[in-house]
Structure 1
Amino acid sequence: MSYPIAASGFDGFLSQVRTIQPLSAEREFELAVKFKETDDREAAHELVVSHLPVVVKVAFQYRFYQFPVQDLVQEGTIGLMKALKRFDPYKGYRLVSFAIWWIKAYIKNYILKSWNLVKLGTTQAQRKLFYRVGDIGEHASQESKDKRVKDLAEQLKVKEDDVIEMEARVRAREWSLNELMGEDKELEAIEFLQDPSPDQEEQIMQKETEQALPVVTEKAMEKLDPRERFIIEQRFLEESPWTLQKLGDHFGTTRERVRQLEQRALRKLRRELESSGAQALLPA
């Protein structure tokens, strides 16, 4: 399986990627085992190439941030290769379920590092808003847009003004979907957008991710002692999270001591989740 060659520019690359067929579970397992046990470069190459359609699909999800999509694809491919190095085929889940976190992480990291606005993404709330502001989308009426802004603000627990401001800052460098692409400038960018409806591969990917995440998360939580686990559950897994003060009162200690225990528990979880490529589950 050859890596697509963009002989006619990025549009040619995309055309070749569209022809790539996903591997069967048996073939993927065979290649992954071969790479894990013998570090076979050809096996790794075939695994990476077969997952390029997934990288391209994820990259286009972040096109709102107006970076060249080919740069996002490149970063996502690096994330895919990093995931492959850590992938354990004996765990029982598919590579796409494991790699999706790495692909997104590398694309997000590239966007945030490359963004040239002052003080963008300096807090957890800002980073969440930055990556979700594209959800506002286009609307036929101001009333419809206002409702979406309100819903997003409630979901992220920020002010509506913060959502409006972030969207304005992002749109300040908006890239038109009617921009001509390719060496001959004959095709519009919008022609490369994929059908937003879930295809079979996406449905499988979502299902496998949903099945794998509880296992990965529970395994990571088992590394915590009872007190650390209780703190993490109450702070991050409950609909009404406990405050540090409430936890301090519960354990008969200080707020600062609880904060230290929380940070220690998060470090343990981060180490465990990083080994499985699911560190995106942790708070920033």
Structure 2
Amino acid sequence: MNYPIETDGLRIYLSQIERYAILDRESEYLLAVRYRDQKDEEAAKTLITSNLRFVIKVALGYRNYGVKLMDLIQEGNIGLMKAVERFDPDRGYRLISYAIWWIKAYIQNFIIKSWSLVKIGTTQAQRKLFYRVSDLPEARDMENHLENVAKLADKISVTQDEVIEMAARLKAHDLSLDDLIGDQSRDSFADTLKDERPDQEETLSDYEAQQDLRMWAVNALETLNPREKYIVEQRILAEDPVTLKELGKHFGITRERARQIERSALEKLRGNYLRSELAA
């Protein structure tokens, strides 16, 4: 059974945003500066519309939460607008690397509000379980992955039966990217996201490969000291990362020492991220 979304509305929306080109780095920077310094609404609009495809891609990652896809996209768009308002183009990384935080935050908040307490559960452990099970590739067939069930149950202090029960709830609201948009359509949801423009695949590939690291690094930089922050920005978030040798020269330290500081900073960020996830 297909997930109950407004397929006609989605098809119309996809056709509308196809006309918005994805900006290159220089164009994005100039528009972002114009909005930051002059509050140029047209610049902000262009920044938003050029990234609408990315919001759809993020929203599709939450398609098994039992919420209409168009609602998730709408919430993600609000997050994107908030990101444009706060984006600092002089940090050296692309807008989407920063916006991914806001897009996901708004989508996740909407999901929590949309799901009833009966579905999610009222305890902190049950809320953790809701997200953990949803993120597992084997969530649709949890009964046949009892080893993972046991590990997850032990990790967040719930019973194995609770893990399987949550998986069953989510399984009832699943949508595949291979599902057809409508009964008379030959196009799947995945097909509608294709773009023949030469820079699209490269942009999406880069986004997918680095989004998990960037999404928490950007928002957690303030927990680092100035040297750690600079190293993470230049090595992880920059469009053209510098080498450890260059960092060593910049700070007057050895390449190995720069590597140690980088590793320490990333471990600190990972710890902060895990704590924030467990507190969710």
TM-score, normalised to structure 1, is: 0.63
Q: Is 1:86 matched with 2:83?
A: no
Question: What residue in structure 1 maps to residue 279 of structure 2?
Answer: 283
- Alpha carbons 1:129, 1:163 under 8 Å: kept: yes
> Identical aligned pairs, as a percentage?
41
The letter for the 2-side match of 1:283 is A
2:118 match: secondary structure: coil
> Which of the numbers 179, 184, 198 marks the counterpart of 1:186?
184
The letter for the 1-side match of 2:202 is Q
Gaps of 5+ in 1: 1-5, 224-232, 242-268, 274-278
Instruction: Please list the CA deviations of residues 40-80 of structure 1 after superposition, one character each: whole Å capped at 9, or x if unmatched.
Output: 11111111111111100011111101221111100000011
Map 1:151-190; keep pairs closer than 5 Å: 151-153=151-153, 156=156, 158-172=158-172, 174=173, 186-187=184-185
Distance in 1 separating the partners of 2:18 and 2:157: 39
Question: What residue in structure 2 maps to residue 146 of structure 1?
Answer: 146
Map 1:38-77; keep pairs closer than 5 Å: 38-77=38-77
Higher helix content, 1 or 2: 2
- Alpha carbons 1:83, 1:102 under 8 Å: kept: yes
Map 1:1-284; keep pairs closer than 5 Å: 9-18=9-18, 20-118=20-118, 120-134=120-134, 135=136, 136-139=138-141, 143=144, 145-153=145-153, 156=156, 158-172=158-172, 174=173, 186-187=184-185, 191-193=188-190, 200-205=202-207, 206-207=209-210, 210=213, 213-214=216-217, 216-222=219-225, 283-284=279-280
Cα distance change, pair 149–194 in 1 and its aligned pair in 2 (3 A): farther
Cα distance change, pair 123–237 in 1 and its aligned pair in 2 (3 A): farther
Instruction: Please list the CA deviations of residues 91-113 of structure 1 after superposition, one character each: whole Å capped at 9, or x if unmatched.
Output: 11111111101101111111110
**What is the Cα deviation at residue 179 of structure 1?**
7.9
Distance in 1 separating the partners of 2:212 and 2:269: 22
Gaps of 5+ in 2: 1-5, 194-200, 227-263
2:116 match: secondary structure: coil
TM-score, normalised to structure 2, is: 0.64
- Alpha carbons 1:112, 1:121 under 8 Å: kept: no
Distance in 2 separating the partners of 1:117 and 1:208: 30
The letter for the 1-side match of 2:42 is E
The root-mean-square deviation of aligned C-alpha atoms, in Å, is 4.1
Number of residue-to-residue matches in the alignment? 224
**What is the Cα deviation at residue 29 of structure 1?**
0.5
Distance in 1 separating the partners of 2:205 and 2:133: 24
Distance in 1 separating the partners of 2:163 and 2:127: 12
Distance in 1 separating the partners of 2:15 and 2:37: 34
Cα distance change, pair 91–170 in 1 and its aligned pair in 2 (3 A): same
- Alpha carbons 1:57, 1:194 under 8 Å: kept: no
Distance in 2 separating the partners of 1:238 and 1:92: 19
Cα distance change, pair 76–203 in 1 and its aligned pair in 2 (3 A): same
Cα distance change, pair 32–123 in 1 and its aligned pair in 2 (3 A): farther
Distance in 2 separating the partners of 1:219 and 1:58: 25
Instruction: Please list the CA deviations of residues 236-267 of structure 1 after superposition, one character each: whole Å capped at 9, or x if unmatched.
Output: 9699x9xxxxxxxxxxxxxxxxxxxxxxxxxx
Cα distance change, pair 117–213 in 1 and its aligned pair in 2 (3 A): closer
The letter for the 1-side match of 2:28 is E
